[in-house]
Amino acid sequence: MNNFFKRSIGIILFLMLIANVYVYTKSIVLGDQIVKLENSINTLKLENAEYEKKIYSFNSLQNLNAVSENLGFTQKAKPMYLDSFHYALASQND
């Protein structure tokens, strides 16, 4: 009976050793994947910041004024408001 316990404990320890090696190798692989993903996140953050700068430069008022002048747009004329409305409408009952 004593021999049976020694063998069963030896088998359990061996299985635990194999499981430990498996978990260890999986954690190494996952660690490498995490590092790669963090690097790609940092690259994407830098690209995003560059795109934001480009968008802000395209949307700046000075740039929009220059683009509108190149396209031939002009500023709207200031509207004239009538203080007296007796000139606004004519009767169309004929």
> Taking a C-beta distance cutoff of 8 angstroms, is the pair 57, 63 a contact?
yes
H or E segment to which residue 81 belongs: none
Q: Does a structural domain hold residue 86?
A: no
CA quadruple 24, 26, 28, 29: dihedral, nearest 10: 170
Query: Is 90 within the bounds of a domain?
Result: no
User: Is position 33 within any domain?
Assistant: yes
Higher pLDDT, 42 or 58: 42
Q: Is the pLDDT of residue 57 over 60?
A: yes
Count: domains in the chain? 1
For residue 58, pLDDT beyond 80:
no
Residue 65 placed within a domain: yes
pLDDT (tens digit per residue) in 1-36: 688 888 999 999 999 999 999 999 999 999 999 999
Report residue 79 as tokens: 């509207």
Mean pLDDT, rounded, of the chain: 83
In a domain, 27, yes or no: yes
Model pLDDT, residue 48: 96
Judge whether residue 54 has pLDDT over 80: yes
Does any domain span residue 77? no
Give the residue numbers spanning the domain of 48.
2-72
